[in-house]
Structure 1
Amino acid sequence: MDLLPKKITDKAVIENLIPQKAPFVMVDSLHAFSSEMITAGLTVTAENIFTQNNVFQEPGVIEHMAQSVALHTGYDFFLKKEQAPTGYIGAVKKITIERLPKVGDTLLTTVNILQEFMGITLVSISTECNGKVIAMGEMKTALA
Structure 2
Amino acid sequence: MNLLEKEILDRQIIEKLIPQKNPFVMVDKLLFFSNEKIVSGFTISRGNLFVQDSFFTAPGLLEHMAQSVALHTGYQYFLKQEPAPTGYIGAIKHIEFYSLPPVDSEVTTTVNILYEIMGVTLVRAETTSAGSVIARSEMKTVLVD
TM-score range, shorter chain: over 0.9
Find the aligned partners of 2:37 and 2:91 in 1 and give their Cα distance. Answer: 19
Paired residue secondary structure (2:19): coil
CA deviation vs aligned residue, 1:94-132 (integer Å, no higher than 9, x gap): 100000000111000000000111111100000000111
Q: What amino acid maps onto 1:113 in structure 2?
A: I
Residue of structure 1 equivalent to 2:17: 17
**1:1-144 superposed matches below 5 A:** 1-144=1-144
For 2:44 and 2:88, locate their aligned partners in 1 and report how far apart those are by CA, in whole Å.
24
Identity among equivalent positions (%) equals 58
- Match of 2:127, SS? strand
The 2-side partners of 1:46 and 1:61 are apart by 15
Distance 1:132 1:9 in 2: 22
| Length-normalised TM-score, structure 2 | 0.98
Residue 64 of structure 1 and its aligned partner are, at CA, apart by 0.3
Flag as ranges the 4+ runs of structure 1 deviating above 3 A: none
Shift of 1:53: 1.6
- Which amino acid letter does the alignment assign opposite residue 2 of structure 2? D
Q: Distance in 1 between matches of 2:93 and 2:7?
A: 29
| Structure 1 residues not aligned, in runs of 5+ | none
Task: Work out the number of aligned pairs and report it.
Answer: 144
Determine the C-alpha separation between the residues in 1 that align with 2:140 and 2:9: 27
> 2:88, 2:60 → 1: CA distance?
17
Question: Aligned partner of 2:134: which letter?
Answer: I
Tell me the alpha carbon deviations over residues 60-95 of structure 1, each in whole angstroms, 9 at most, x when there is no partner. 000000000000000010011010011111001210
Tell me the CA shift for residue 21 of structure 1. 0.2
